[in-house]
Structure 1
Amino acid sequence: MLAVFLLSQGLTGAALVFRDEIEPLIHSELTVAPGPQRVSAQAMLDTVRAGHPEATVSRAEFPESPDQAVLFKLKTRQGGDQILLAVDPYRGTIVRDGGLSAWPTEWIFVLHEQLFLGPMGETVIGIEGLCLLFLGISGLVHWWPAKGRFSQGFRVKLDGSADTRWRTLHRAVGAGVSAVLILSAVTGALLVWKEPFRDALGTVTAVERKPTPKVAEETGRAMLPVDTLVASAQAAQGGAALQQLRFSSGERVVAVYLDGTHTVRPDGTSQIYYNAYDGRELGRYVAGELSGATEFIDWIYTVHIGLWGGVPTRLVMLIEGLLLAGLGLTGPWLWWSRAARRRRAQAARGATPAAQTR
């Protein structure tokens, strides 16, 4: 059963490494023709809300490339099902609309993160990460060659039986990628139990949490245009580019995510939270201005997906995912092969005395 999970995590993880580059290739409509002027974020938001009045908007993602559509994510009010819409930022029109099944990479992401089981699935993924950590460490200990024979541990015996070839290949590859597998296992488990880990660190050092403000509904009161909130955030952060808008508390709290200008973390952001009714600032979470422990926690995701070193580290994570899937296939086959050999040997030993009595 663990092998099935490892196979799934390896393949889905590999597929997600270059997700942002793959998605426009799958859905050509996500690539748009730039125009002379972009429509306002509020105009796009109004279009999305009009298209799905039965849902609430959870976030809007603004790509860095000028020829990419803006992605909106919504949740239905009844069942909480996810809906995704892509909007042409120059014409304000919806160019793609559908649930998870219409967005393969998003579907893969949910499978990788929680197995479509919600919090229970995340726990299963965390346990799988701990199992992978155990396999990575124990496998490395079992593989470790005698002194002076280190290179022999990476030798693949191509002139032996099929079982010997696969076994030596499995051992050599497993040892070669063990460090990356252990890193993925540790960071993956920490992502699942990120908040308990934050609490544990908080007992020995200062740790900040992201703001979680709530705003009560005020019937009949209009909310400010999100462009006003974005302008306020950008004025406070030196005009940094808009990355995301996140909505909570019934869309009455708007979190403006801007490019992080105070951090070297590639996915670091400056987040400012606003009351959507009056524009009051409700909190900040600015990468590069947080405590060391908090910055360490936020680096976990960056390391897990290989963003920290650019394309080279992403390629490493891609290869690691494919190799993990391969190890997930060869491991059970080798176990079955060894068990089959033992059964044949036991059968042969049992048949020998009977043959001698005839």
Structure 2
Amino acid sequence: MSLALVGLWLLQALTGMLIVFHWEIDDASMVAPHAPTNPAALERRIALLAPVGSGRHLVSAWTSAGFDDRYDLTIEDKAGNDTTIRVSGDGTPIRIDPPNAPRRLIDSVVVLHQSLIAGQTGRWIIGASGILLFTNLLGGIVIAWPRRGTWLRVLRPSRRGAPVARHFAWHRAVGLIGVLPALALVGAGALLAFDDSVSALMGASPPEVAAISGADRIGFARAVTIAEQALPGSRLAAVTPPQRADATYQVRLRTPGEWRRAYGASFVFVDATVGRIRGVFPEAEAPFARKAFDALFPVHTGEAGGFVGRLLVLFTGLWLASMIVIGARLWWLRRTPRRKGNSR
């Protein structure tokens, strides 16, 4: 089974390395001056993009997660087509992605890594292969753990001896050096592939409040300001505006101390009719199950360790690719004498 999946694992390692900094790469491709986040200016831009009576409306606003103070505003028209406009903090448009726009290369790499560009079926394949890889790593620890001799001898493989012995020594040494971060990275990634099922199993559903009805009298800027005041020191991550069936702003924030680098996992719900707070859910006060589930993404991406953590993920991808190449070569060398013996 492992031999059958070795190509997929190598693909996962290489694409994972490429997308560690994909948010920054995407934002770096667009030259625009920095402007601090101004909720009132963002609201004015939204009003221009989706004026009253036009049939267009704001679906969501998300941080770009690359450079600070950049946001993606998704506008839906009457036909249900989405247009995404990346804007700076003062609402100045930077890039427009029209409906059915072709996927950018970096975005394609992200989707390839997450689902093999095969939707939910691809995610299940990635998850199942990740579980098998996780068990391989555990088995590798059992096989490679020193029983005789010193760790120094194991971690300094000899360059002498038969090819099989040399490859085994290098596979063992390299494996023991990087296996622990790889276990965390692969384990979190495999669980993320089944995120809905894992969330339900853990009882880690996101916070929510009951739907209410009424006319929207509170604008985007006021809702964001109320939410940020409810969680001092927080940064705006996303806004889901009121829907027809629910006159509530859902504001997602990143609060100090969260592992997520940009998106955050703290929520404030604001009544769009009168501007009162309907619920405040800081990540620091979330139930343990929710915290554990929310930790999967920053562990898998390295965000939990800041910039150093993301570099560690980059090098872990390189480590995994090296282990795959050395391991495949070792398997080939071990079976070569058998083939020669059988030919006789």
TM-score range, shorter-chain basis? 0.7 to 0.9
The aligned length equals 335
CA offset at residue 129 of structure 1?
1.7
In structure 1, the partner of 2:231 is: 237
Once the two structures are superposed, what CA deviation does each residue of 1:206-228 show, in whole Å capped at 9, x if it has no partner?
Answer: x6643276567x8xx66742112
In structure 2, the partner of 1:327 is: 323
2:281 corresponds, among 271, 279, 285, to 285
Q: What is the alpha-carbon distance in structure 1 between the residues aligned to residue 108 and residue 212 of structure 2?
A: 32
Answer yes or no: is 1:257 the counterpart of 2:258. Answer: no
CA distance 1:192–1:344, change in 2 (3 Å): same
CA offset at residue 239 of structure 1?
6.0
Equivalent position amino acid for 1:87 in 2: V
Q: Is the Cα–Cα contact under 8 Å of residues 249 and 272 in structure 2 kept in the other structure?
A: yes
TM-score, normalised relative to structure 2: 0.79
Gaps of 5+ in 1: 349-358
CA offset at residue 318 of structure 1?
0.8
1:47-62 → structure 2 map (5 Å cutoff): 47-49=48-50, 57-61=59-63
In structure 1, the partner of 2:207 is: 210
Q: State the identity %.
A: 24
1:163-242 → structure 2 map (5 Å cutoff): 164-202=165-203, 209-211=206-208, 224-238=218-232, 240-242=234-236
Q: Is the Cα–Cα contact under 8 Å of residues 86 and 95 in structure 2 kept in the other structure?
A: yes
Answer yes or no: is 1:9 the counterpart of 2:4. Answer: no
CA offset at residue 273 of structure 1?
2.8
CA distance 1:91–1:241, change in 2 (3 Å): closer
Q: What is the alpha-carbon distance in structure 2 between the residues aligned to residue 343 and residue 17 of structure 1?
A: 42
CA distance 1:211–1:33, change in 2 (3 Å): closer
CA distance 1:180–1:73, change in 2 (3 Å): farther
Q: Is the Cα–Cα contact under 8 Å of residues 88 and 95 in structure 1 kept in the other structure?
A: no
1:1-358 → structure 2 map (5 Å cutoff): 1-25=4-28, 27-29=29-31, 31-34=32-35, 40-49=41-50, 57-61=59-63, 69-73=70-74, 84-90=84-90, 92-97=92-97, 101-160=102-161, 164-202=165-203, 209-211=206-208, 224-238=218-232, 240-246=234-240, 254-261=249-256, 263-267=257-261, 268-274=264-270, 276=272, 279=275, 281-348=277-344
Q: Is the Cα–Cα contact under 8 Å of residues 100 and 106 in structure 1 kept in the other structure?
A: no
Once the two structures are superposed, what CA deviation does each residue of 1:140-196 show, in whole Å capped at 9, x if it has no partner?
Answer: 212223233433333434345655544432332122211112112221223233454
Equivalent position SS for 2:86: strand
Equivalent position amino acid for 2:59 in 1: V
Give the stretch that moved more between structures: 164-173 or 116-125: 164-173
Equivalent position amino acid for 1:88 in 2: S
CA distance 1:28–1:166, change in 2 (3 Å): farther
Equivalent position amino acid for 1:57 in 2: V
Equivalent position amino acid for 2:221 in 1: D
CA offset at residue 270 of structure 1?
2.6
CA offset at residue 47 of structure 1?
4.8
Q: What is the alpha-carbon distance in structure 2 between the residues aligned to residue 90 and residue 175 of structure 1?
A: 50
Cα RMSD of the aligned pairs, angstroms, is 3.7
Gaps of 5+ in 2: none
Equivalent position SS for 1:242: strand
Q: What is the alpha-carbon distance in structure 2 between the residues aligned to residue 36 and residue 20 of structure 1?
A: 18
Equivalent position amino acid for 2:227 in 1: A
CA distance 1:115–1:46, change in 2 (3 Å): farther
Q: Is the Cα–Cα contact under 8 Å of residues 73 and 84 in structure 2 kept in the other structure?
A: yes
Q: Is the Cα–Cα contact under 8 Å of residues 59 and 74 in structure 1 kept in the other structure?
A: no
Q: Is the Cα–Cα contact under 8 Å of residues 211 and 285 in structure 1 kept in the other structure?
A: no
Q: Is the Cα–Cα contact under 8 Å of residues 213 and 282 in structure 1 kept in the other structure?
A: no
CA offset at residue 347 of structure 1?
0.9
Once the two structures are superposed, what CA deviation does each residue of 1:239-290 show, in whole Å capped at 9, x if it has no partner?
Answer: 63322223585796532122314x4535444311345566565544321112
Q: What is the alpha-carbon distance in structure 1 between the residues aligned to residue 159 and residue 138 of structure 2?
A: 26
CA distance 1:45–1:306, change in 2 (3 Å): same
Kindly name which structure, 1 or 2, has the bigger radius of gyration based on alpha carbons. 1
In structure 2, the partner of 1:355 is: none
